[in-house]
Structure 1
Amino acid sequence: MSDPYVPLVGAVVAALLSDATLADLVEGRVYGALPTGEAPAMPYVNIASYQSLDAGTACTDESEVFLDIDVWTREGGRQRAGLIHSAVRCALHLADLDLGASHVLVEIAYRDGRVFADPDGRTTHAVLTFRALTEAP
């Protein structure tokens, strides 16, 4: 069984970066992994966590993948975070993503999301969860 992490995250980041609405809202700050050093300027979107489950059979190499995507903003509060949340959802839900030669995306679908105030009292945080089903060709 091969893990689709690298091609899936790459395709998700590329899809988010190519979405004009989202690009305007976060000024192109979309990360598969946060840059080292200082935290990026807000607002930004990053893939926060990844879980891959074997969904294959004796004859297939399939994975069920759950991606948590975080939205972070200080300007505009819940309204701004909600707009970014919506843009991420629209860009990825049922998107046709190219994972290259190593995997095929069967489906990616929005599962759930929430927007809430961060404990620091200045930051608004949103979390979106997507489920993807991939298979090796």
Structure 2
Amino acid sequence: MPAAHVALRAAIHAALKADTALIAALGGAHVHDEVPRDAAFPYVTLGDGGISDISTDDGDVQEHRLELHAWSRQGGHKEAHVIAGALLAALDDAPLTPSGHRLVNLRFAVADIRRERDGRTYHAVVRFRAVTEPLS
């Protein structure tokens, strides 16, 4: 994955771990790039992403697609909605500074919340779109 995407994910991860509303909704800094085996519910994971080159004559520009996943069990559907809302509030148009790149924008795209097959776990998928360009 290109350096811009890695830097953007790192900036998002750091911002989420520092967001007091999200941490309160999760009951702690339960934000993971990769889920630990013994992760306690609720928690958030950084999911899949993609990147496209949308460069112009003016310079290199990259568009990023990012997924965040919120997992809830005891708090059910309501808790999943609260966490998804906290993710949206923390990241939509956030002034992040990915290392070596300028974040042009970071925008919420869509969120889906559903009950998993086990009947007791709720899963929210929150998608964002970002645009970056390298620092001069």
**TM-score normalized by the length of structure 1:** 0.91
Shift in alpha-carbon separation, 1:41–1:56, aligned structure 2, 3 A: same
1:99 counterpart SS class: coil
Gaps of 5+ in 1: none
Give me the CA root mean square deviation. 1.3
Deviations 1:33-65 (A, max 9, x none): 334xx1511111011101001111244111100
Aligned partner of 2:104 in structure 1 is: 106
Amino acid at match of 1:55: I
Write the mapping of 1:45-84 to structure 2, written as runs, cut at 5 A: 45-84=44-83
Unaligned 5+ runs, structure 2: none
For 1:32 and 1:9, how far apart are their aligned partners in 2?
9
Distance in 1 of aligned mates of 2:97 and 2:24: 24
Q: Is the 8 A contact 1:3 1:63 kept in 2?
A: no
Query: Could you tell me how far apart the structure 1 residues matched to 2:39 and 2:62 are?
Result: 31
Question: CA separation in 2, counterparts of 1:48 and 1:39?
Answer: 18
Determine helix, strand or coil for the equivalent of 2:45: strand
Between the two proteins, the alignment pairs up a number of residues equal to 133
How far the C-alpha of 1:83 sits from its partner, in A, is 0.3
Q: Give the ranges of 4+ consecutive aligned residues of structure 1 lying more than 3 Å apart after TM superposition.
A: none
Structure 2: how far apart are the matches of 1:63 and 1:39?
Answer: 36
1:56–1:39 distance in 2 versus 1, CA, 3 Å: farther
Find the counterpart in structure 2 of residue 6 from structure 1: 6
Q: Percent identity?
A: 34
